[in-house]
Structures are given as C-alpha cells and as structure tokens.
Structure 1
Amino acid sequence: MATSATNNQIKSTGSNETALIRLLRTWGTIIVIALVGIGFAIASPYFATVSNFNNILFAMIVSALVSIGLTYVIVAGSFDLSIGLTVTTTSIVTAFLIPVTGPFLAVVLALAVACCIGLVNGLLVTYGRLSGIVVTLGMSFVLGGLNQYVTNGYQIAVDYREEAFRWIGQGRIGPIAVPVIILLLVFLLGWIVQARTRAGHYMSAVGDNPMAAYYSGIPVYRWVIFSFILAALMCGVGGVILTSISSSAQPVGGQGYLLEAFAAVYLGATILGKGKPHVLGTLIGVLFLYMVSSGMNMVGVPFAARQLFNGLVLILAVGANAMLNREEIHLKFI
C-alpha cells in the first residue's frame, strides 16, 4: 500500500512538472512581457498611457516590417543580413524618383528595386550555391557603397509640396496614423501567407528539411528565392514609409534595423511555444523591444544599456528557441 501511494505521488509530481513546463513553454514569454510592462507602468506614470502606446506603435513600424520580412527568410532556412541596407536603398530610390516620375510611380519602381535585390540574393543562395550569410553580407556592402556614391553622403530631401506622398507616413485616418494601418494590413497579409497558404507551408517545409521537401516534389529553390523577394519587399515598404515620415532619404537610415529584426524574430519564435519563427510572434517581439526601449527611456536608462539589452535578448531568445527544439539533432553551425 505504501509503495503504491509513493508511486502515485511520484506520478502526480511528474504530471504537475509536465503541466508546468507545458505552461511555461506556451505562455512563458507572454508572461515575461506582461511582467516587464507592469514593472515599467509602476516605475513611470507616463508609461501605461494611450499616448505612449501610440508612440510605441508609430516608432516600431519600419522595424516591424523589416522583421516580418526577415521571418520568411529564416523560416525558409537562410539568413539575410542586407535587410537594413535594402531599407536605405529603397528610401533613396524613392526620394530620387519622386521629382522625375511623381510619387505613385516612384513608390512602385522603388519597391521593384527592392524585389530585385531580394531576387539577386535568392539566386546567389540557391543556383549560385553560396551561403546566405556571405551573399547578403556582401550585398550589404555593395548597397552601402552605392548609397554613399549616389548621395555623396548627404540626405535627399523630398519636396514638402508632395502632400500625397507625405500622407503615407504622416497622415491619419481618424485617431490612427496611416503607417500603423499599413503595418496592420501587411501583418494580416503576412500571417495569411505563412499560416493559410501553400506558399507558407512550402517555405516551412523547405526550412525544416530541404532534402525531404525536395523528394516530396517541392521546388526548393523557388521557395527560397520567394522568401528573399518577400523579405526585400517588406523592407521596401519600410523604406518608402521611412522616407515619407522624414520627408527625406538618409544614406545610412536603415542600418540599425538588423539587430532589432533578428532579436524580434528569435524572440517571437518562443512566443506561444511554437519554437519556430512565425509572423505573429515576430510582431509581438518587436512590440516588446520597443516597449522596453520606451520604458527604459522614461526611467532614465542610458542608450548604451538599451543596446546591451537588445543583444542579450537576441542571445536569450536563440537559447530559448534551442531549448524548445532540443529533441532535434543540432547540425547547423553557420
């Protein structure tokens, strides 16, 4: 009887531990985000306000678009280190073309240039058989050099009379800023592509096991290239909005988004216990990073400490992602 009672107690304890681990795996990141938000709300009376929430949403728009685009590349099993420079390049192309073609055609052509950057990256990674890290690092240097050459290191101003173009980044529909609406629409479309379409399932299959995907009849190269084009397109949209917000293009305006994007994607991969990058998690990850940045700013934490926090979040998020997938054999060392 005593042995039976002991065994039942052990089983009950194991079951409780399993339930706790399952709870933390699914909701642990959300709980941490909520606790951090509560902490900042207690530390500063200005943090938990509608005005500050609107400021956070507006500040994170470009970073969120870039991060959502990067999500697709990582889901497909590669990397893109040129996303920040793609934002800058699209911004510069937009600013240069507006006086020549008008705002509408300038935006279309700038987004086409962004897609071409993604296409070149994808072709070199697939048919060129080159590492995604090497290709996109090289592309970032190429784009950085071109941006400096065509601008001579100076910003390119957009005529203030271009009201239709300025409305993209500075307009409002009721109380909501137009860029926020664009972000929500892009997020919705991005989520549908990843979760509800064949393209999203194929990219996930390629990223999980490209050899199995190939023998299943999935055109692996096509979907890797598609992920790079999609990422570049998202960066292009971010570049257009960035130009509209500031009414100018900066030759180094988009370089700071790279670290934020990777931190957001890998942090988002731990949200809801997915263990894999997904668009919803990425958006929440970006929101968390900007929420923390706003909170730190309100309590007087210096900028260097905020950069340190972003780096630590990236390391911890990747580590948590590895723990969620610890049953898989670790064979990727690049």
Structure 2
Amino acid sequence: MTMTTTAVVPPPTQAGAKGRSRNGLHFLRRWGTIIVIVLVGLLFSKLSPYFPTISNFNNILFSMIVSALVSMGLTFVVAAGSFDLSVGVTVTTVSIVTALLIPYTGMAGGIILALIAACLIGLVNGLLVTYARLSGIVSTLGMMFVLGGINQYLTNGYQVPVAYGEVAFRYIGQGRVGPIAFPVILLALVFIAGHILATRSKAGHYIGAVGDNPMAAYYSGILVYRWVTVSFVLSALFAGIGGIILTSISSSAQPVGGEGYLLEAFAAVFLGATILGKGKPHLLGTLLGVFFLYMVSSGMNMVGISFATRQLFNGLVLILAVGANALLNREEIHLKFI
C-alpha cells in the first residue's frame, strides 16, 4: 500500500497578493529614499520661486563640497565596519598645514605635503584600530583631541592667511569654468575616482568584504588589518582634499574650521546607505545624502525656517530614513549594537 501526499497550494489570489507585496517592498527598498528627496524638492519649489533655479542649484553644490568629500572618505571606514571621529579635525589640520607651508614650499609642495600629513593621520588611526586593538571610536576620539591641540599650537588660536598673490591656489576654491565653480568639478572628479576605487578595484571589494564579515574575510585569505588601515587612510585623504579646498575658498586656515563636518558626514553616510536599496554605505548614496541635507537646509532658509528647526528636521529625516530601511529588512537578524 502506498501513501501519497498532496501539497497545499495557496489560492491564486493569495499567491498574487504576496507577490505584489514583495514587489512593493522591493520597490520601496530601492527607490523610497529617492522618492522622498524628489518630493521634498518639489515641496520647496512650491513654497519658494527661488528654490528651483540654476543659481540655487549651483549654490547648493558649492556649499556641500567639503562636506561631500569628508562624507565620501568616511564611507570607506564605515564600509569596513569601523568609525572615524577625527575626519572633521583632519580637515582643519590639513587646512592649517597647507596655509603654513605654501610660503616656503610653493603651492604644489604645500598641497603634496599636506596630503601626506593627512595620510599619516589615517595610517596612525588604522594601526591603532588594528594592531593596537583599540576601538575605532576610542582611538579616533583620542586622535580628534590630539589634532585639536596641535591645531591650536600651530595657530595660537588665530587664522593663518594665504598670501593674496597665490592666484593659482585661490583658483582651486574660487575659480570658475563657465557657469560651474571649479571646486564642483574637482568634487566630480574625486567622486568618479572614489567610485571606481570602491566598485572596480580589489581595494574596494576587500574593504566591503571585511565590513560584511571580517572573520569570513580572514579565512578567505584577505588581509583584514591591511584593508581596515587602507580605509582609514582613504578617509583622511578625502578629508585632506576637503581641507585644501576649504583653505582656498576662504584664502585662510581657521583653527576650528572643520569640526562641524563630522556629524554631517555620519548623517550623509547612513542616509546614503538607504538609497537604491543597498542597505550598506556606498559613495553614490553618500553623495546624494549630502545633497539632500544641503538641499533641505537651502529650502528651509528660503522659506524662513530657523536654524534650530532645520537641525531638528535633519535629525528626524535621518532617523526615519534609517528606520525605514531597517523595517524593510526586518527579516535579517539584528546583531550590531555599537
């Protein structure tokens, strides 16, 4: 005697509803944040006739340059599974070093040496996190205080001006190519280079693999310590480029010029992780995240909303965006509490 079993097949309407539900969630996961960005842009365009103009668009791009560079560099560290709290102060340090060196080494020498200093800061951070086995938060917080003290020592609390005759250097931050500001072009070039590095190179893939599962990466033969250190060097390098552009824009270095970029960078990185349904930090998402934050700031300023309200809105948007991404990925087990 043989026994037969029959599978219970859900009614076609029920199966179709589940399929549509999955498709809807997939659509929201991929395009939800971008839809929010577009809707907010349309709202401000309705509230202010000056918002949807080429001039305002250029102003937004120009104002976000340094923050975008800092955020893109931080993306590599977060993708590797760590944090870098020293990126804002690194901007200030590189800015000061550039302004101090240009009178002695010329523009090219000052920029090169300042970028080397940035890479050394990143290298020290990376070595502390890996071989010294310190937490990324603790080690980079310590570096932030160290660099803050060095910045005060180098400047005595005063700004360091760049000579008016440094026309070529000032062009980096103040020049224009037709209607486009030259630093916007630099930002585009750095983004393209960083995107290729993150998506088309061994370094980018290894950094992502370490961030996804460091133990699996280790047993796969990936040198985990090396690529975590590389991510910190890249973070400091991008921040250093931002520091040089900041010095050129203002024709001086301020002793506390870059500290405000830290929180913006973290907000942009985690907001950008929700864009295109990635769920993980990526440079395109980070760049769009920075643009969204500065677009909101510009729109709120045009309609007369106070700075405190703008800060409140940015915080709520970040929490809601990341929370929505977590909700859409609720089937995954949540095990990271750092």
Would the TM-score normalized by the shorter structure come out above 0.5? yes
Report the Cα offset of residue 309 of structure 1. 2.1
Say whether the 8 Å CA contact 1:58–1:179 is kept in structure 2: yes
Counterparts of 1:251 and 1:312, CA distance in 2: 31
Say whether the 8 Å CA contact 2:300–2:310 is kept in structure 1: yes
Cα deviation digits, residues 110-161 of structure 1 (max 9, x gap) = 1110100000000000000000000011111111111112211111111111
One-letter code of the match for 1:190? G
TM-score, normalised to structure 2's length?
0.95
Check if 1:281 corresponds to 2:285.
yes
Match of 2:234 among 230, 242, 250: 230
One-letter code of the match for 2:133? R
Say whether the 8 Å CA contact 1:170–1:177 is kept in structure 2: yes
Question: CA separation of 1:8/1:37 partners in 2, compared to 1, >3 Å: closer, same or farther?
Answer: same
Report the Cα offset of residue 324 of structure 1. 4.7
Match of 2:189 among 161, 182, 185: 185
Question: CA separation of 1:19/1:40 partners in 2, compared to 1, >3 Å: closer, same or farther?
Answer: same
Instruction: Report the equivalent of 1:170.
Output: 174
The secondary structure found in structure 1 opposite 2:103 is helix
Match of 2:163 among 159, 166, 182: 159
Match of 1:254 among 253, 258, 261: 258
Q: Which moved more, 1:147-156 or 1:59-68?
A: 147-156
Alpha-carbon RMSD across the aligned residues, in angstroms, is: 1.5
Check if 1:78 corresponds to 2:71.
no
One-letter code of the match for 1:62? V
Instruction: Report the equivalent of 2:48.
Output: 44
Match of 2:143 among 139, 144, 151: 139
Report the Cα offset of residue 315 of structure 1. 2.5
Cα deviation digits, residues 242-301 of structure 1 (max 9, x gap) = 000000101111011111111111111111101111000000100100000000000001
Report the Cα offset of residue 332 of structure 1. 2.4
Report the Cα offset of residue 237 of structure 1. 0.2
Cα deviation digits, residues 79-135 of structure 1 (max 9, x gap) = 000000000000000111111111110010011101000000000000000000000
Counterparts of 1:255 and 1:240, CA distance in 2: 15
The secondary structure found in structure 1 opposite 2:258 is coil
The secondary structure found in structure 2 opposite 1:102 is helix
Counterparts of 1:333 and 1:148, CA distance in 2: 35
Instruction: Report the equivalent of 2:3.
Output: none
Task: Give aligned pairs, total.
Answer: 331
The secondary structure found in structure 1 opposite 2:154 is helix
Check if 1:56 corresponds to 2:56.
no
Check if 1:19 corresponds to 2:23.
yes
Counterparts of 2:125 and 2:331, CA distance in 1: 32
Say whether the 8 Å CA contact 2:25–2:328 is kept in structure 1: no
One-letter code of the match for 2:248? S
The secondary structure found in structure 2 opposite 1:326 is coil
Point out where structure 2 has 5 or more consecutive residues left out of the alignment: 1-7
Counterparts of 2:123 and 2:333, CA distance in 1: 31
One-letter code of the match for 1:43? L
Counterparts of 2:9 and 2:122, CA distance in 1: 63
Instruction: Report the equivalent of 2:36.
Output: 32
Point out where structure 1 has 5 or more consecutive residues left out of the alignment: none
Instruction: Report the equivalent of 2:268.
Output: 264
Counterparts of 1:245 and 1:19, CA distance in 2: 47
Report the Cα offset of residue 306 of structure 1. 1.3
Say whether the 8 Å CA contact 1:95–1:243 is kept in structure 2: yes
Report the Cα offset of residue 19 of structure 1. 1.2
Say whether the 8 Å CA contact 1:275–1:324 is kept in structure 2: no
Counterparts of 1:71 and 1:257, CA distance in 2: 14
Question: CA separation of 1:259/1:317 partners in 2, compared to 1, >3 Å: closer, same or farther?
Answer: farther
Check if 1:322 corresponds to 2:326.
yes
Q: Which structure's CA Rg is the greater one? A: 2
Report the Cα offset of residue 326 of structure 1. 3.4
Counterparts of 1:162 and 1:150, CA distance in 2: 21
